[in-house]
Amino acid sequence: MHSVAILGASGYSGQEVLDRVLRHPELEVVALGSDSLAGSPAAALDVRLNGSLPPFVPNGEALAAGADLVFLCLGNQRTAELAPPAEGVVVDLSGVHRLADAEKAAAYYGTAPGAWGYGLPEVSPAEVRLIANPGCYATAAILALAPLAAVVDPASVVVDGKSGVSGAGRELKASSHAGFVLENVSPYRVGSHQHAPEIAQALGFPVTFVPHLLPVRRGLLATCVVTTDADARELLEEAYAGSAVVRVLPDGVVPELARVQHTDGAEIGVFADRETGRTIVVCAIDNLGKGAAGQALQNANLALGLDETAGLRLSGVLV
CA distance to 261, 264, 297, per residue, from 120 (Å)? 19, 13, 11
Is residue 311 in a domain? no
Is residue 231 in a domain? yes
Residue 68 sits in a domain whose CATH number is 3.40.50.720
Do 160 and 244 share a structural domain?
A: yes
Q: How many domains does the chain have?
A: 2
What burial class does residue 87 get, using C-beta atoms within 10 Å of its C-beta: 0-12 exposed, 13-18 middle, 19+ buried? exposed
Task: Look at residue 317 in the predicted model and tell me its pLDDT.
Answer: 45
Is residue 317 in a domain? no
Task: Look at residue 189 in the predicted model and tell me its pLDDT.
Answer: 77
Question: Which letter does DSSP use for residue 38 in this model?
Answer: T
Phi and psi of 257, rounded to 5°?
-60, -40
Three-class SS of residue 162?
strand
Do 294 and 242 share a structural domain?
A: no
Do 164 and 106 share a structural domain?
A: no
Residue stretches of the chain with pLDDT short of 70: 167-182, 315-319
Is residue 212 in a domain? yes
Task: Look at residue 300 in the predicted model and tell me its pLDDT.
Answer: 98
Do 141 and 23 share a structural domain?
A: no
Is residue 313 in a domain? no
Residue 180 sits in a domain whose CATH number is 3.30.360.10
Do 151 and 127 share a structural domain?
A: no
Is residue 90 in a domain? yes
Is residue 312 in a domain? no
Q: What distance, in Å, lies between the first and last C-alpha atoms of the chain?
A: 31
Do 149 and 282 share a structural domain?
A: yes
Q: pTM for the whole thing?
A: 0.93
Is residue 40 in a domain? yes
Task: Look at residue 319 in the predicted model and tell me its pLDDT.
Answer: 42
Task: Look at residue 110 in the predicted model and tell me its pLDDT.
Answer: 87
Which amino acid, one-letter code, is at 93? Answer: L
Do 172 and 124 share a structural domain?
A: no
CB 219 within 8 A of CB 135: no
Do 272 and 142 share a structural domain?
A: yes
Give the pLDDT confidence of 166-214 residue by residue, as tens digits.
Answer: 765 556 555 565 666 667 788 887 888 889 999 999 999 999 999 999 9
Burial letters 112-135, b for 16+ CB under 10 A, else e: ebeebbbbbbbbebbeebbbbbbb
Do 77 and 50 share a structural domain?
A: yes
Task: Look at residue 144 in the predicted model and tell me its pLDDT.
Answer: 98
- C-alpha count within 13 angstroms, C-beta hemisphere, residue 122: 26
Q: Any bridge partners for residue 220, and if so which?
A: 163, 285
Find the domain containing 229 and state its range: 136-287
CA–CA dist 96, 132 (Å, integer)? 8
CA–CA dist 220, 284 (Å, integer)? 6
Do 86 and 33 share a structural domain?
A: yes
Do 249 and 115 share a structural domain?
A: no
What burial class does residue 206 get, using C-beta atoms within 10 Å of its C-beta: 0-12 exposed, 13-18 middle, 19+ buried? middle
Alpha helix (H) residue ranges in the chain: 12-22, 59-63, 76-80, 102-109, 136-145, 178-181, 195-203, 232-239, 257-260, 294-304
Task: Look at residue 132 in the predicted model and tell me its pLDDT.
Answer: 97
Task: Look at residue 318 in the predicted model and tell me its pLDDT.
Answer: 45
Do 195 and 218 share a structural domain?
A: yes
Task: Look at residue 134 in the predicted model and tell me its pLDDT.
Answer: 97
Instruction: Tell me whether residue 73 is one of the annotated catalytic residues.
Output: no
CA distance to 80, 111, 267, per residue, from 114 (Å)? 11, 9, 32
